[in-house]
Amino acid sequence: MKFWKLLLGLEKFPTTFTPTKNLGWWRVPFLHKWIAVIRLKWLLPLPALRRHAAMFSKSGSGKSYFLYLFLLTIKIHWGVWPWVPQVNSRRSLLLFDPHGDLAEKCAQNPTLLREALRAHRRGKAPNLMFISPTLCTNSIPCCNPFDRRGKRDSKATREVLAQYLTSTFAAMLSRGDVSLSFRMEALLTPMFTVLLAIARQGREVTFFDLLRFLKDDQNRDLVEFGMKKLKNPGMNLFFRETFMEKQLVSTKFALRVKLAKLLSSRMFVRLLCQKQSSWDLETALNSGKTVLIDGSVSQLGREVSEIYGRTITALTQAYAFLRARRRHQKFMPIYFIVDEAASFLTEDVRVILTQARKFGLHLILCQQMVKQAGMSQDMHETIMGNTALKVVGNAGHTTKKVLAAEMEVPLADLTHLSVGSFVLKADGRGHRRVKLPSFWLKEGSKSLDRTWAKVKPILLSHYSPDAVAGEGPGNTNTGAAMTAKRFGPKFNTLPFRVVPFFFLLPLL
């Protein structure tokens, strides 16, 4: 109809015209989405993704499904058989989703589920890691930053890691550009060095030990460890002469209050303060895993979700920078997707955008508008100037005006974008408009329930029994056992396959 209106002169041609690349195809079973992924791979050049990316789009504009395709373009490739998609284990992908629905949808991707089943049958660890506090009622995924079991950290590495843990602790407490004072940082770095050295000896260390370290009437053993057993003359002198000074009592009290506020949150303790980690973020990032983290605000609460996201961001930056000490090894590329990134913008994000690319860490930020509440002008300029790929969907007028100038795109090309339409602009390339088919946006997850029921106990291998939730020592049911019990008998057992055929025997 629109063609005939244009032909008869009833409707005017647009003054600026950008051809739209329709990612969809007709409804060919098992093929239409992979055709879209192949097209999107061509439109999203990997060199541009390695120099960071930013996406701006309103809620309800198809952003989640576009991010889903984004994930597939990074992690899915075609091997020997071109019609069989496979998981690329030579790239690590980390997704933090503050809503939870995107992470769950990605975890239920059929290709990732099939790879997890094949790896489990071969006795290997699957590529997929789904970290969600709601996957099982009596198990929780915990990542304790002090747990360094199996790591051969040198003394120099522990001192560098202590500095990164100080910035991680600052990220936990920060809001916007708020940071710790100089005295607080001067106290925390030696304390983290002591706690890491104690953990290196096989003792279990958590943030509760840091809280005890800040109490002068309970930290005698920790101070003596810093004075005598640390092979660092400067830190020995610090704990001998400076740490117990009266001028630092108020600083310790302020840190104790901040830390006590964090530890008062039950979900924070469950996710970050268990004695032993059930999953290792550093190992996952260095081994090509697909780590999908569900930081749902509805389950964790807004404050804990933001703290969890900032902690994961700071630890990811720290582990990427620690890889620089292995100069003769090739870095595993890490693609870090952060949805609703405005809630997690700290100094660590600025460092990642400006320096971390050299260490194989590539950031993909997703926001609803250019300058959301709490974002400083300096952070805005850092994001605009250090992202080589920008994606714009249906956004506000102010956001479109700013991005049109930054992307050097006519403003008319960013207006009237329908649901599922996006404009892509990579440095050194012209901008392109892409369109997701409308039936993709309406359909739900169609992964087989049987496959998900089989994979779910496998994913729970990265979980530990939740002692904080009230698990008693007499309860021996693990998360995997409870999940298997909930979903009933396995579908690949012999009776399930054989019994239905006995009902057909009289018909023969």
- Per-residue pLDDT of the chain (508 residues), as tens digits, is 555 554 444 454 444 434 555 665 445 555 666 677 777 777 777 788 888 999 998 888 888 888 888 888 888 876 655 567 788 888 999 999 998 889 988 898 888 998 999 999 999 999 999 999 988 888 899 999 999 887 877 788 888 888 888 888 888 876 644 567 888 888 999 999 999 999 888 889 999 999 999 999 999 999 999 998 888 889 899 999 999 999 999 999 999 998 998 899 899 999 999 999 999 999 999 999 999 999 988 888 888 898 899 899 989 988 988 887 766 567 889 999 999 888 887 778 888 888 888 888 999 999 888 877 567 788 888 888 889 999 998 888 888 889 888 888 888 888 888 888 899 888 888 888 888 776 555 555 554 678 888 899 999 999 988 765 444 333 333 333 333 333 333 333 333 333 444 443 343 4
CA 431, 437, 442, 443 dihedral sign is negative
Which residue type is seen at 68? Y
> Among residues 318, 324, 317, 365, which one has the least CA distance to residue 344?
365
Superfamily of domain 21-136+281-446: P-loop containing nucleotide triphosphate hydrolases (3.40.50.300)
DSSP 239: I
Q: How many residues does the chain have?
A: 508
CATH 3.40.50.300 residue ranges for the chain: 21-136+281-446
> Among residues 505, 502, 458, which one has the least CA distance to residue 481?
458
pLDDT of residue 47: 81
Which helix or strand (DSSP H or E) is residue 335 part of? strand 334-338
The Cα 405–Cα 484 span in angstroms is: 55
The single residue listed with the structure tokens 């244009």 is 6
Which helix or strand (DSSP H or E) is residue 475 part of? none
The whole-angstrom distance between residue 162's C-alpha and the CA centroid of its chain comes to: 22
The Cα 368–Cα 451 span in angstroms is: 34
Phi then psi for residue 372, to 5 deg, are: -80, 170
Query: What secondary structure does DSSP assign to 15-51, as a single string?
Result: SS---EEE---S--TTTHHHHHHHHHHHHS-HHHHTT
> Among residues 279, 208, 202, 203, which one has the least CA distance to residue 464?
279
Q: Given phi > 0 = left and psi -120 to 50 = alpha, else beta, which region is 421?
A: beta
**Sequence-separated (6 or more) residues with CB below 8 Å from residue 39:** 21, 23
Residues 132 and 471: beta-carbon distance below 8 Å? no
Residues 103 and 141: beta-carbon distance below 8 Å? no
Residues 236 and 224: beta-carbon distance below 8 Å? no
Residues 433 and 420: beta-carbon distance below 8 Å? no
Torsion angle of alpha carbons 180, 186, 188, 192, nearest 10°?
Answer: 140
Which residue type is seen at 451? T
The Cα 65–Cα 67 span in angstroms is: 5
CA angle, residues 337, 395, 68, in degrees to nearest 5:
30
- What's the predicted TM-score (pTM) here? 0.82
pLDDT of residue 23: 62
Rounded to whole angstroms, what are the CA distances from 300 to 80, 100, 140, 374? 43, 11, 12, 21
CB atoms within 10 A of CB 27: 9
Task: Give the 3-state secondary structure of 158-218.
Answer: HHHHHHHHHHHHHHHHCCCCCCCCHHHHHHHHHHHHHHHHHHHCCCCCCHHHHHHHCCCCC
42 burial level (CB within 10 Å; 0-12, 13-18, 19+): exposed
> Among residues 196, 169, 189, which one has the least CA distance to residue 235?
189
The Cα 37–Cα 434 span in angstroms is: 12
**Sequence-separated (6 or more) residues with CB below 8 Å from residue 201:** none
The Cα 402–Cα 407 span in angstroms is: 9
Which helix or strand (DSSP H or E) is residue 54 part of? strand 53-56
pLDDT of residue 487: 35
- Name the pairing type of β-strands 76-78 and 421-426: unpaired
pLDDT of residue 368: 87
The Cα 134–Cα 103 span in angstroms is: 12
The Cα 40–Cα 21 span in angstroms is: 10
